[in-house]
Amino acid sequence: MHRLISFAAAPLLAIAVLSVSANADPIKDRQAIMKDQGKTVGSITPIIKGEKPFDAALVIAALKHLNEDAEKIDAATLFPAGSDKGETTASPKIWEDNAGFLAALTKYKKDAAAAAAAEPKDLESFKVAFNQVTENCAACHKAFRIKKD
Ligand code: HEC
């Protein structure tokens, strides 16, 4: 009981710092996953643009890899409260509208899993799967990421 009271009495900032340091470095960890996703999307975008021929093995592997990355995104460990401070473009909205953020993340994971399972065998079905996944990147970034310059 005594512990509970002193914890509750601790300043909010201390709690925020505490929850950040509980994980190794959630900012770096989530950015590493995001970067990997960016690389993966970048590897298949030339096919969407018609700059490279359709390659079923390549796009299926990429979609499966994206899904693996999506599965790694655990909001509780990678986006703990207070981790909008530091070298990050995560918007405070992630925590102000946490239900909205979690809904966006859940939708992304669902779409990434569906796209990976679809295993597109031609360009047309690949385009559908690609758009299904990448619309999530843009939507979440627009709502929950800030541009810092
Ligand atoms: C549910 C929300 C969400 C989804 C979905 C999402 N992102 Fe992100 N992304 C973020 C947030 C928040 C950041 C900022 C992370 C930070 O700086 O701490 C970010 C940052 C990034 C970055 C910059 C990483 C860095 O080094 O600073 C890249 C690249 C990126 N995302 C790519 C993608 C791609 C590609 C997809 C889709 C395949 C995607 N993201 C889907 C929320 C999302």
Say yes or no to pLDDT of 41 above 60: yes
Measured in Å, residue 51 CA sits from the centre of ligand 1 at: 25
**35 CB under 6 A from ligand 1?**
yes
Using CA of residue 99, residue 102, residue 104, residue 107, what is the dihedral sign? negative
Which of 23, 28, 34 has most ligand 1 atoms within 8 Å of its beta carbon, as the pocket-test mutant? 34
**90 CB under 6 A from ligand 1?**
yes
Say yes or no to pLDDT of 9 above 90: no
In degrees, rounded to 5, the angle at the alpha carbon of residue 48 between the alpha carbons of residues 29 and 44 is: 35
pLDDT at position 3: 53
In degrees, rounded to 5, the angle at the alpha carbon of residue 113 between the alpha carbons of residues 57 and 96 is: 135
pLDDT at position 70: 98
> Which numbered atom of ligand 1 lies nearest the CA of 41?
35
pLDDT at position 19: 47
Query: Mind listing the pLDDT tens digit for each residue in 69-127?
Result: 999 999 999 999 999 999 999 999 999 999 999 999 999 999 999 999 999 999 999 99
